[in-house]
Amino acid sequence: MAQKRDNCIILLIDAPVPERIAPELISAFGAERAERVNLDLLQNAYKLAKKFKDAILLLSFDKSSRHPDLTWLDSDDPGFLEAKGKNPEERINEAFQLAFNTGAKKALLLNHLSPEVKPEWLHQTFDAVADKTISLGANRDGSLYLVGLTFSSLKILEGLSFLSVKAAEEISERAKKNKLGVFSLPETDAVKTEDSLLKWADSKDSSPSPFMRAEPSFAAAPPEEKRSGRRAHKNTSPPAAEKPPLQ
């Protein structure tokens, strides 16, 4: 692996307020729950990127009056590239430009809506990316969870909607037109539905936050109906030692 400064991970972060949340999350979970689900996804992606020791981290943050900095994400306040008033495409281009202008040779953009990205996929991306090769991580719905490239191939992102369900197909076609190879990462899922949220919750080692599941039912259920397999269907009473929602 090259020196840490040669690699850069880019993460787009919006203030954790309803008006900055992806519409599909609000449609799936409702405004209040979507806000907390989105926050957990952001914190998950940030934790992954921060722990990755072979790259610097560049955060593009669209702040709000309630959240002028990133202390809600990290008590150390990691600092950020301010993205106020810019659309996602402008933010992505600006972040990549800054990464390369400050010395990075390879950079990848990570989508926080896909929480099951593994550290080894980041390593594989930086190992594979070259002037004639990009790295591409696609969700099963066709959207992107990761794209990695060098400065010489940055032009293929011009005008691309990173969150589009056709983004993976479009960027692959652009790469071919520009005679670039594509290193494909394993497919995964973006959290956009109740099923995809439950799948992620069940894949986690620790117990998920209470907002991970739908509103609990307080209808009577015998003790033997406790969680078995994916999750219990009913509870006799509110959980005794539930984790508080992330703030």
47-79: pLDDT as tens digits: 999 999 999 999 999 888 888 999 999 988 898
Which one, of 35, 24, 23, lies nearest residue 66 by Cα?
35
Which one, of 5, 90, 122, lies nearest residue 81 by Cα?
90
Task: Check whether 175 has a pLDDT greater than 80.
Answer: yes
| pTM score, whole prediction | 0.80
Residue 130, beta-bridge partner list: 133
Which one, of 187, 41, 169, lies nearest residue 121 by Cα?
187
Task: Check whether 247 has a pLDDT greater than 90.
Answer: no
Contacts 24+ apart (CB under 8 A), 34-43: 36/209, 36/211, 36/245, 36/246, 37/191, 37/197, 37/211, 37/212, 39/246, 40/209, 40/211, 40/212, 40/246, 41/112, 41/113, 41/115, 41/191, 42/13, 42/16, 42/73, 42/112, 43/73, 43/246
Task: Check whether 124 has a pLDDT greater than 50.
Answer: yes
Residue 22: per-residue pLDDT: 85
Mean predicted lDDT score pLDDT of the chain: 84
The mean pLDDT value for 147-153 works out to 96
Look at 116-120, 125-129, 230-234 and tell me which has the smallest mean pLDDT: 230-234
DSSP 110-163: E-TT-TT--HHHHHHHHHH-BTTEEEEEEBTTS-EEEEEE-GGGGGGGTT--TT
Return the higher-pLDDT residue of 218 and 19.
19
Which one, of 181, 13, 1, lies nearest residue 105 by Cα?
1
Query: What DSSP character marks residue 212?
Result: G
Task: Check whether 196 has a pLDDT greater than 80.
Answer: yes
The mean pLDDT value for 9-16 works out to 92
Task: Check whether 211 has a pLDDT greater than 70.
Answer: no
Domain ranges of the chain: 4-184
Query: What DSSP character marks residue 85?
Result: T
The mean pLDDT value for 73-92 works out to 88
CATH code: domain 4-184 is 3.90.550.10
- What angle, rounded to 10 degrees, do the helices at 119-128 and 31-51 form? 60
Return the higher-pLDDT residue of 17 and 135.
135
Residue 104: per-residue pLDDT: 97
Return the higher-pLDDT residue of 208 and 95.
95
